[in-house]
């Protein structure tokens, strides 16, 4: 068994990175920063100046804001100033009422908010809010991770490692050994992810959110194509949770590494498979921990935000969890990771939006396929593409492409998104 001190550090890391969030984490982080600046100012701002990194701007442009029926940053910023509480972290807007929403709409219409791109910074996750009233101003800055406040931009050099609060360096063997041998009582808390994220899937059934992809897969036509199978249920429950979240449902999900969709993708496929395969509760707990911790490990080198779709990362985690539930051990899980990397590398992130459910479906479908191939002894070889014999090197190849190689792609995606007439 892993040394207790190492286990405690890993558990602290999971607690840090797997947390509840209402709505898309990028606009919620902007609302959180606005709430903090407003609290420092001590009164309602007359003007709010917003400077954002390109990746924050990209991820916040087209997503529904929970409980508002509206899309994008202005209403999130207005509500952050009017009713947001920084103590709530990424649930900053959970006190929203119909009256507050009307005030927020009026605040936006009155033109108090100025949103711009922050130029000449390398940090991909950067939010700067300056609130002004009666000739006084206060500024709040978030950088490096979605809830990490810094005093001024000169501290950016200290945020390059987005896991600065816990510098334990993971590898897949350590992730596997921890998830499969840690005392159950130490890791049982990961079941909260099931409670949150499967509830989000159920919430989607009650309304019409996003593109209704989850509901569509449950309808007779889709059943004729996919069948009434574990596979179709995995896709449906995962896509449904994303539909609700991206469509603006006022529900919390358990996020992973700053992303609610990553949290959903690391959770729901594992939970559905475990239920329908009649795995034990212990097996589910260990599979969920394996899935979430694998995603955290990959994000350590990829970064919180990148040009690579986060569903790729989280789907690798869920493939590991499903492989474990199939009876796979470390060797089979390594195969699943390599199979995933051979398939999904290069899927771009073009912002948070209802259509993310389509990308999640692609990722989850590949997760199941990769696990099945692995359990049959099949694995993409090092002679093919970017896959290496060493699984950790394969992961590093993936994250190098996402963090460095796709930089120009990221710039082009943002340029296309910001130049559209609609």
Cβ-count burial of 232 within 10 angstroms (0-12 exposed, 13-18 middle, 19+ buried)?
middle
Note the pTM of the prediction, 2 decimals: 0.90
pLDDT given at position 306: 87
Q: Give the pLDDT confidence of 100-110 residue by residue, as tens digits.
A: 999 999 999 99
Residue 42 has pLDDT above 50, yes or no: yes
d(CA 115, CA 159): 23
Assign 210 a pLDDT band (cuts: 50, 70, 90).
Answer: confident
Angle, CA of 363, 389 and 256, to the nearest 5°: 35
Q: Give the pLDDT confidence of 10-25 residue by residue, as tens digits.
A: 999 999 999 998 888 9
Nearest of 288, 197, 185, 276 to residue 243 by alpha carbon:
197
Residue 69's contacts (CB-CB under 8 Å, 6 or more residues apart) are 248
Q: Give the pLDDT confidence of 395-407 residue by residue, as tens digits.
A: 999 999 998 899 8
Residue 170 has pLDDT above 90, yes or no: yes
Residue 162 has pLDDT above 50, yes or no: no
Residue 160 has pLDDT above 50, yes or no: no
d(CA 60, CA 307): 14
Assign 155 a pLDDT band (cuts: 50, 70, 90).
Answer: low
Percent of the chain with pLDDT over 70: 96
Give the 3-state secondary structure of residue 313: helix
pLDDT given at position 153: 78
Top-confidence residue, 286 or 157: 286
Task: Give the pLDDT mean for 66-77.
Answer: 92
């Amino acid at each position: 068994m892993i040394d207790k001190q190492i286990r405690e550090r890993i558990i602290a890391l999971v607690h840090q990175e797997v947390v509840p969030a209402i709505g898309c984490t990028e606009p919620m982080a902007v609302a959180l920063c606005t709430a903090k600046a407003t609290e420092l100012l001590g009164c309602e701002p007359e003007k709010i100046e917003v400077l954002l990194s390109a990746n924050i701007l990209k991820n916040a442009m087209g997503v529904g804001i929970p409980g508002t029926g509206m899309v994008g940053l202005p209403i999130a910023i207005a509500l952050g100033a009017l009713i947001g509480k920084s103590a709530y972290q990424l649930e900053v807007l959970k006190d929203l009422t119909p009256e507050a929403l009307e005030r927020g709409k009026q605040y936006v219409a009155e033109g108090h908010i100025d949103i711009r791109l922050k130029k000449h910074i390398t940090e991909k996750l950067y939010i700067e809010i300056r609130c002004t009233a009666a000739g006084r101003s206060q500024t709040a800055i978030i950088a490096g991770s979605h809830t990490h406040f810094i005093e001024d931009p000169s501290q950016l050099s200290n945020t390059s490692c987005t896991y600065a609060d816990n510098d334990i360096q993971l590898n897949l063997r350590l992730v596997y050994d921890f998830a499969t041998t840690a005392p159950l009582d130490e890791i049982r808390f990961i079941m909260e992810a099931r409670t949150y994220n499967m509830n989000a899937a159920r919430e989607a059934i009650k309304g019409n959110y996003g593109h209704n992809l989850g509901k569509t897969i449950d309808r007779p036509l889709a059943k004729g194509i996919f069948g009434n199978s574990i596979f179709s249920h995995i896709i449906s429950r995962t896509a449904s949770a994303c539909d609700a979240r991206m469509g603006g449902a006022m529900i919390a999900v358990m996020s992973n590494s700053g992303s609610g969709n990553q949290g959903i993708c690391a959770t729901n496929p594992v939970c559905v498979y475990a239920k329908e395969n009649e795995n034990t509760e212990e097996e589910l707990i260990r599979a969920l921990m394996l899935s979430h911790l694998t995603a955290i490990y990959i994000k350590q080198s990829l970064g919180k935000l990148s040009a690579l779709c986060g569903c790729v990362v989280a789907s690798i985690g869920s493939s590991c969890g499903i492989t474990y539930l199939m009876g796979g051990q470390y060797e089979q899980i390594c195969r699943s990771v390599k199979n995933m990397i051979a398939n999904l590398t290069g899927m771009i992130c073009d912002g948070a939006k209802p259509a993310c459910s389509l990308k999640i479906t692609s990722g989850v479908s590949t997760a199941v396929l990769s696990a099945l191939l692995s359990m049959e002894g099949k694995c993409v070889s090092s002679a093919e593409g970017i896959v290496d014999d060493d699984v950790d090197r394969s992961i590093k190849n993936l994250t190098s492409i996402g963090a460095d190689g796709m930089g120009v792609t990221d710039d082009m995606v943002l340029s296309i998104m910001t130049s559209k007439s609609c």
